[in-house]
Amino acid sequence: MPTMMYRDALRRALYEEMKADPRVFLLGEDIGLYGGAYAVTKGLLDEFGPQRVRDTPMSEAVIVGAAIGAAMIGGRPVAEIMYVDFMTLTMDQVVNQAAKIHFMFGGQITVPCVIRTQQGTGRGAGAQHSQSLESWFVHTPGLKVVTPATPSDAYGLLRASIQDDNPVIFLEHKGLYAIKEDVPEEPFVTPLGVAEVKREGADVTLITYSRMVHLALEVAAQLAERQIGVEVIDLRTLQPLDMETVLKSVSKTRRAVVLHEAVMTGGLGAELSARITESLFDQLLSPVRRVAARDVPLPANVALEKYVVPNAEQVISAIEETLAVKQIVR
C-alpha cells in the first residue's frame, strides 16, 4: 500500500470521482491555479479544466448558493470554503435551503452537494480562523456531517460523500493535512454513519473524532503501560451518528469519556453523554465525562491556544476520575 498524506488522499478521492462522473465539479476560492489553501486541489485544474474546477469570487454565499442550485438541477458539486468560520456567511443557504429542499418538495428534488471546509486549532490562527463548529450542523436535520481523522478515511469518506444524494458538510482538520498513512491502492468507499473501534480495551470507552482521535490513541498507549485498557472509538460521521457501536462498547466497559476539540457547552459530548446515559444508566459504573475546549474565543497566541484545547493530561485525568468511581449511587 502506498503511503499517502491526508491532503493527497482527499485529492485522490476528488480525482477518481471526477473521472468516474462528469457531473462532479469543484468550486471555491483559489482552488484552481493556486491549488487550494491547503493544496488539496493542486493539479486538478490541469486535468479537468476551468469548467470543472471553478475559481470563484471571494464570496462564500455565492459559492454555496451556486453549488446548491447546481445540485438541484443534476450536478454533483464539491464546494470548498476556506475556513469553517466563514460558513457563517452561508448559513441561510445551508440551514434553510440545502438541508430542507428534499423534504419541502416531497422528495422530488435532491441536493447532492458536498461542502468541504477545514476547522480546528494548531496554527495560532486566532478566534475567527480556528473554531470547531460541527455541532451547528449536527443540530440541523437534513445535513450529513463527516469528520475524517486519517488519510484512509479522508479518501473513503469523501468518495462516499460525493456519491450521496444529500448535502454533506465535510470537515477537515487543518492539523491533519500533512499526516501520513498507508492507503490501499484499490479504490474503496467508506460508508457514512459507521464508527470505527480504533483500539480495543476493557476498562473505559474513549469516544472522539477528527484530530482528537490521535490524542486518544496516544493516551490509550500511555495508560496501557499501567494496565488500563482504553477502548478508542472514532465516530468518523457525526450525522448520522453510529450509536450502535458506541453503546456496544460502553455496555462492555461500563464507563465512557467523550473527547472533542470544540468548546464544552453545547458540544457533541453533551449529546453523546445524554444518549449513553438514557440507554445504559443501569449499567454505568460512573457518570459519563466530557473533555473539551474551554468556553472562550480562541487566542492567536500558540501557547494560549494549547491551554484552551484538550491535552493528554486532561484526558488521563478524566479517565482516572471515571475509574475511581466504582458504582453510581442510585
| Catalytic residue (one of 17, 60, 134, 231) | 60
Beta-bridged to residue 230, according to DSSP, are: 204
Do domains 3-182 and 196-324 share one topology? The answer is yes
Whole-angstrom Cα distance, residue 258 to residue 314? 12
Q: How many other β-carbons are positioned within 10 Å of the β-carbon of residue 144?
A: 22
Give one word for 305, left, alpha or beta, with left for phi > 0 and alpha for psi -120 to 50: alpha
| Confidence check: pLDDT of 327 > 80 | no
Average pLDDT over the chain, rounded to an integer: 97
Are 246 and 278 contacting, i.e. CB atoms less than 8 angstroms apart?
no
* Residue % of the chain over a pLDDT of 70: 99
Q: What is the mean pLDDT of residues 61-70?
A: 98
What is the CATH code for 3-182? 3.40.50.970
Whole-angstrom Cα distance, residue 106 to residue 319? 47
What confidence tens digit (pLDDT) does each residue in 170-227 have?
A: 999 999 999 999 999 999 999 999 999 999 999 999 999 999 999 999 999 999 999 9
Are 65 and 77 contacting, i.e. CB atoms less than 8 angstroms apart?
no
DSSP helix/strand/coil, 205: strand
| Confidence check: pLDDT of 32 > 80 | yes
Separation in Å, CA 281 to CA 205, 230, 251, 259, 290: 15, 20, 10, 20, 16
pTM for the model stands at 0.97
Quick one: which of 226, 225, 205 has its CA closest to 216?
205
Whole-angstrom Cα distance, residue 277 to residue 215? 24
From 3.40.50.300, 3.40.50.920, 3.10.310.10, 3.40.50.1360, which CATH number describes the 196-324 domain?
3.40.50.920
Q: What is the mean pLDDT of residues 67-76?
A: 98
321 in active site = no
Q: What is the mean pLDDT of residues 116-145?
A: 96
| Confidence check: pLDDT of 329 > 90 | no
Break the chain into its structural domains and give their ranges.
Answer: 3-182, 196-324
pLDDT score, position 33: 94
Are 195 and 216 contacting, i.e. CB atoms less than 8 angstroms apart?
no
Separation in Å, CA 5 to CA 11, 37, 179: 10, 16, 5
129 in active site = yes
| Catalytic residue (one of 102, 129, 173, 214) | 129
DSSP helix/strand/coil, 204: strand
Q: What is the mean pLDDT of residues 128-156?
A: 98
Give the ranges where 73-169 is alpha helix by DSSP (H).
91, 101-104, 134-138, 151-163
